[in-house]
Amino acid sequence: MTLIKPSILISNTFDPLSRDEEHVMKLYQTIADLNYYNAIETRIIFNTQVQKEFADLATLHEWYVTFWVTGNLNNLAFRLNNLNESERIKAVDQVKIYCDLAVKSNAKAIGFCSGKTEGHPLEEQEQFFKSVVSILVHARKYEELDIIIEPLDSSSDKRNTLGDLETSLSFFQRINSSGLNHDKRIRCCIDTAHFALNNDNLSETIKELSIYSDRVHFANAILDPSHIDYGDKHIAIGDPGFLDKGYCIELYEQCRTLDFISKDTYLTIEERVLDQQKMFEKESEHREFLNTLRAI
Ligand SMILES: [Zn+2]
């Protein structure tokens, strides 16, 4: 039976607050005071003083910290799947810089996505594979720094090279069979919204990818293309999306029966909260639901 530990996606639940480095430590301290989460998923920290303060807090609370840099790369228009070799290398070099920054904050993992497709899936997969290998070599300079890859939806909204279940599976199979992942540093993040948007069967997705993965994001989405909020909008669990609490319970029960890549397996509720008045309320709602799941 896999023990699933709670994680919080700070950069989504506290989206606006998490961007404000000047005041962000107050937020992290509040989360630390809850004494609840084993893992923190958030955005990279640039300010050296804040890095230091965050590193101390993360050590004290033994957080497994992941910095997601997908948004940073998008903002720079960098894609790790770029067919243009010099542009791809620029993106890789940027991720290496983020790795160095992440370690300063005592992060244990860096997370990113493949990048939008330009319509050449096989060549892009090849480019992304090369990028991951190069980032892996860099990450191994550090005693502890995992690489988390999140497949996004491939044809509906984010249109990423990686991808639907089939593409994701062949990518992670290749990583493992090449012998590159003997220390299990490369891990998959299974986000329910993206696979549902791909029309992949979620139960099958979780089952097939679990051996490559150390975490699941319970994220909801509207799957009807004619709906105004169709796509990856990070909506709350429940109507009008496909993922209600009952479905979460079903998936959670399945997760517990599977062997993930790591004995520390994390679960988070992914919802983007932009209203500053509601962020803490939402966090406690998510925590309460995580508690319900963990009590099963
Ligand atoms: Zn996610």
What is the set of domains in the chain, with CATH numbers? 4-294 (3.20.20.150)
Q: Give residue 1's pLDDT.
A: 84
Which residues touch 195 (CB under 8 Å, ≥6 apart)?
A: 151, 153, 164, 165, 202, 205
**pLDDT (tens digit per residue) in 69-107:** 999 999 999 999 999 999 999 999 999 999 999 999 999
Residue 157 pLDDT > 90: no
User: 112 with 149: CB under 8 angstroms?
Assistant: yes
Q: pTM score, two decimals?
A: 0.97
How many Å lie between the centroid of ligand 1 and the Cα of residue 119? Answer: 23
Q: Give residue 185's pLDDT.
A: 98
- Average pLDDT over every residue of 234-256: 97
Residue type for position 253: E
How many Å lie between the centroid of ligand 1 and the Cα of residue 163? Answer: 13
Q: Give residue 12's pLDDT.
A: 96
Mean confidence (pLDDT) of the chain: 97
> Directed axis angle between helix 202-209 and helix 165-177, to 10°?
10
Q: Give residue 248's pLDDT.
A: 98
Whole-number Å distance between alpha carbons of 206 and 216: 8
Binning pLDDT at 50, 70 and 90, where does residue 143 land? very high
How many Å lie between the centroid of ligand 1 and the Cα of residue 254? Answer: 19
User: 166 with 233: CB under 8 angstroms?
Assistant: no
Which residues touch 189 (CB under 8 Å, ≥6 apart)?
A: 111, 148, 149, 150, 151, 213, 215, 216, 217
SS3 144: coil
Whole-number Å distance between alpha carbons of 258 and 55: 32
Residue 66 pLDDT > 90: yes
Binning pLDDT at 50, 70 and 90, where does residue 155 land? confident
- 205, 292, 67, 142: CA torsion to nearest 10: -80
How many Å lie between the centroid of ligand 1 and the Cα of residue 100? Answer: 23
Q: Which of 107, 121, 205, 123 is nearest to 160 (CA)?
A: 121
How many Å lie between the centroid of ligand 1 and the Cα of residue 55? Answer: 23
Q: Give residue 79's pLDDT.
A: 98
How many Å lie between the centroid of ligand 1 and the Cα of residue 217? Answer: 5
Which residues touch 246 (CB under 8 Å, ≥6 apart)?
A: none
Strands (E), the chain: 4-9, 39-43, 64-68, 109-112, 146-149, 186-191, 213-222, 231-235, 265-270
Residue 236 pLDDT > 90: yes
- Average pLDDT over every residue of 140-158: 94
Binning pLDDT at 50, 70 and 90, where does residue 156 land? confident
Q: Give residue 257's pLDDT.
A: 97
How many Å lie between the centroid of ligand 1 and the Cα of residue 81? Answer: 19
